[in-house]
Structure 1
Amino acid sequence: MKGTKKELLNSLSEEVAKFEKKKNHKEDPQNNELLHTLITSNYTYHQCMSARIEFMLNKVNQRRYEWGHKAGTLLAKKKIIMASSNSTISYLLQDNSLSVLEPDKIN
């Protein structure tokens, strides 16, 4: 894409605005920080969009990791509950001493 730096930055802003409207999600401070960094830098339009896409993919992969961790934790807990014929494990489950198995809450 050819044009002055100002035209490229305006185009980037328009593309981002379209994306934000389409997704209709809450403002993400990290996104705004990233955009500010990209817009005030000397990168080309395509470099800016590539960086944004990479950022979004990393965010998706992070969510997949968090949900995978949560699913794995719940499975492990279910197996422990199934094996709870052992009175020590039953006691630990009742006592909530196995809180190590609880993943952090995901918003």
Structure 2
Amino acid sequence: MRDRKSFLAANRGRRYAAPGFVLLVHDRRDDDPAIRMGFTVTKKIGNAVVRNRMKRRLRALARALLPHGGQPGADHVLIGRAGGIERDFAAMQAELEKALSRTARRPSAPSA
């Protein structure tokens, strides 16, 4: 994802906050089953070197977990938080797995 409109739409979706990141998941409601992902890290986190390092960590997390844990037809946005640089990568992986399961679409209950 690269356009601002997609990021703003994702902000209206489900969210899960973890110590190292925030996950936003927005169902696009189109017929495209692609799992799209976006990454953002604000200047509050640090200088360009720190922000780029954080984005590389978020991309590595997404590459490892989104293909099998992400929702088809949804946009996933990872927002870096200040604690994400020092946080253990294995802990962040576990948190992303939990976040993906928590933000998963729940099937609607059949009405009887």
> What TM bracket, shorter-length normalisation?
0.3 to 0.5
Larger RCO, structures 1/2 (Cα 8 Å, 6+ apart): 2
TM-score under structure 1 normalisation? 0.36
The structure with more helix, counted as a fraction of residues:
1
Structure index of larger Rg: 1
Larger strand share, 1 or 2: 2
- Which TM-score applies when normalising by structure 2? 0.35
